[in-house]
Amino acid sequence: MRNFRPGHLFILIALSLLLPASAQPKPRNPNMKQGMDYVHQHDNEKAIASFTKVIAQEPKNADAWYQRAECYARLKQFQRAIADCSKAIELMKSADPLPYKLRAFSYMKTEQYVPGIADYTRVLGLRPNDKEAMENRRIACRLIGKPEPPVIPKKGTYEPTELVMIAQHDANHGHYKAALKKFSDALIYDDKRADTYFRRGEVYFVMEKFPEAIKDLDMAVRLNPKEVNYYYSLGKTYTSMNQYDKAIENFNHVVKLMPNNTGVHMRLGGCYLAIGNKKKAIEEWTWHLKVDPGDDKVIYQRAALYTELKMYPQALKDYNQLVAKTPNDEDMHRRRGEFYMKLHDYKKAIEDFTKTIELDKANAGSVYTLRAQAYQAIGKTDLAAKDLKAAKEFDERI
């Protein structure tokens, strides 16, 4: 207890009020809809008035009681929030951690720590990995000098959607093993959720467990064959396994479902290049650039392929585009200069190499050598000798 800071309790508990109002199905009662609208407008008093009308009309509407409790809590009317949460818990057909959590919050704010701890314990029974409930309960127990009571999981009342969201939170923060455990638990209660297989497959991918990722993503596709992201992830995973034919097959499914998907044509181009189909790679990268014309990396890759295939006018067009977009990029001038050397257009090559040297004199050693070759090709041996000397001096300095 000596290292405990009581003020920390209220810092943690205050996080609860930053949570968004719980997502609910579209309300049938117009007053319920109006109340939710007021909640979104942060007008809690008017929201309370609307929810009160709903309760008068439908006294067994558990959601109205809970929503009104949230509004009372935001207005710091915690005793009323406790009463409404209690009524919501009584009316709900199945256990839901949200009213217990809000009631625990309200108990804590009114220094009713014992019932607050009990409610946080119930929350953990329904949602074992709720970090806020875990931490607040621990601090409250220290505050009153009592041990933490045991948590009895109530698996029959798990809500897979909530568990999946918690698992995704773990995954987003790099806690991959914990995420896999929760995704797997969620699938125990609902093994027909394509999205859960997909999310678990994505975690396996990040962990480079590619066969496991393929298995999950295949299941996601079987359950929902019209979801673009599943095919995209399969293509991405097969690419990582160097199984380019299967990657191409899945990326082409993406193209069928969403032809203008940003990135799929880029990835297809890479796969076709990997299997040696350069013309098809160019075709896919051209499609990609229609969707994302500013992708300099793809423009350069296409220019390099055009050059390999001796499609020089097309390559020059790409190089010119790159230089026009980034006129102060020394690397682009150098690359275009090297391309001009292939065309034996030495004067233009010299122009680009000269520009490269002007833009980056500190790293110009190899460029002096290239320019010397160009000068030599047009018979300017004195300038070639001068550049070779500059290149040698540069290397000696390094």
Mean pLDDT split into 10-residue runs, the chain, 398 residues? 37 42 56 92 95 95 95 96 92 81 94 90 86 92 89 59 84 92 77 90 97 97 95 97 97 94 93 96 95 92 95 96 94 95 96 95 91 96 94 81
Asked whether residue 224 is assigned to any structural domain, the reply reads no
Q: Which of 157, 176, 205 is the last residue of a domain?
A: 157
Write out 343-357 in H/E/C secondary structure.
Answer: CCCHHHHHHHHHHHH
pTM attached to this predicted model: 0.57
How many domains does the chain divide into?
2
* Domain span including residue 334: 326-398
Asked whether residue 43 is assigned to any structural domain, the reply reads yes
Output the pLDDT for position 363. Answer: 87
Asked whether residue 203 is assigned to any structural domain, the reply reads no
CA distance 396 to 398: 5
Asked whether residue 358 is assigned to any structural domain, the reply reads yes
CB 337 within 8 A of CB 357: no
Q: Give the three-state DSSP class for 145.
A: coil
Asked whether residue 181 is assigned to any structural domain, the reply reads no
User: How is residue 51 written in tokens?
Assistant: 């929810």
**Nearest Cα to Cα of residue 266 among 237, 295, 234, 241:** 295
> What CATH number is given to the structural domain containing 85?
1.25.40.10
CB 104 within 8 A of CB 119: yes
Asked whether residue 225 is assigned to any structural domain, the reply reads no
Neighbours of 72 (CB within 10 A): 23
Q: Give the three-state DSSP class for 253.
A: helix
Q: Which of 91, 124, 157 is the last residue of a domain?
A: 157
User: How is residue 47 written in tokens?
Assistant: 């929201």
Output the pLDDT for position 161. Answer: 77
Asked whether residue 76 is assigned to any structural domain, the reply reads yes
Output the pLDDT for position 316. Answer: 96
Q: Which of 140, 157, 174 is the last residue of a domain?
A: 157
Asked whether residue 91 is assigned to any structural domain, the reply reads yes
